[in-house]
Amino acid sequence: MELIKILEDETQAEAATKKTLANSGVVVLPTDTVYGIFSLPSKKTALEKIYALKKRPESMPLPILISGVEQLPQVSSFQSQALDSLVRTFWPGPLTVILPNPTPNMSLVASEEETIALRCPDNDFVRRIATDMGPLAATSANIHGEDTPETATGIANVLQGVDLIIDGGRLKDGIASTLVDLTQSTPKILREGPVTKDMFFKSLE
C-alpha cells in the first residue's frame, strides 16, 4: 500500500492515481464529502476487490463519479427536464442521481433493474482524474455499514488491501450526498443530505 500526501506533491498524487487505476488497482481519494474508494468501472477485478475490502453486498451497485455534465452521455442515455435542472443547480456538489438507461460500458456497475447512480463531486482533484480517465466507480472508503474514517491513516488501518491512498487531510463532518431517484415520472428523494428537500423542490420550479 502506498500513501501520498496530496498537499506535498499533487502532481505525483495525480500520476500515481492514474497509473494505479489503469493497472486495475483500487485507490482511496478525498472527495467533497468523505474519503472514497475508486476504480475504473470497466475493471472487473478492481470492482471485485472493492466489494471484498468493504464487505459490501454484491446486490448493491457502485455509484459513478464524473467530471461534469459533459460525461453524462458516457454513463446513461437518459434525458429529462428534471435531470437538467438538478445538475445545473447542484453539480458539482453533494447530489447523487439514479438514472435509467445505463450505457453498455457501464454493464459491470449497473443494477439488475438497469439503473445507475452518479454524481459530480465538488473536488478538483477527483474531477481531473475523471476528465483524463473517464467516469469512475466509487463508494465510501469504509467497511459496509460502519462510519468512514476521517483520515487517510484511519482508512489504511481499516482497508488494508487498497493499492494507493491519497491523503487529503482530515475530512471532518462528512455528510453523504443527497440521493434522488429519477427513474420514475416524479423525482423522489431517497436520502436527504446537504441538498435539502426545500432546495430540491425549489430547483424544479
Q: Are the CB atoms for 137 and 41 separated by under 8 Å?
A: yes
- Report the pLDDT value the prediction gives residue 190, as an integer from 0 to 100: 96
Whole-Å CA distances, 36 to 7, 11, 114, 115, 133: 18, 20, 24, 21, 16
pLDDT in tens, 136-159: 999 999 999 999 999 999 999 999
- Report the pLDDT value the prediction gives residue 150, as an integer from 0 to 100: 93
> Can you give the pTM of this predicted structure?
0.93
Q: What is the mean pLDDT of residues 79-91?
A: 95
pLDDT in tens, 108-134: 999 999 999 999 999 999 999 999 999
Residue with cell 500526501: 5
For the chain, the domains span: 2-203
- Report the pLDDT value the prediction gives residue 158, as an integer from 0 to 100: 95
What CATH class is the domain 2-203?
alpha beta
Q: Give 176's DSSP letter.
A: P
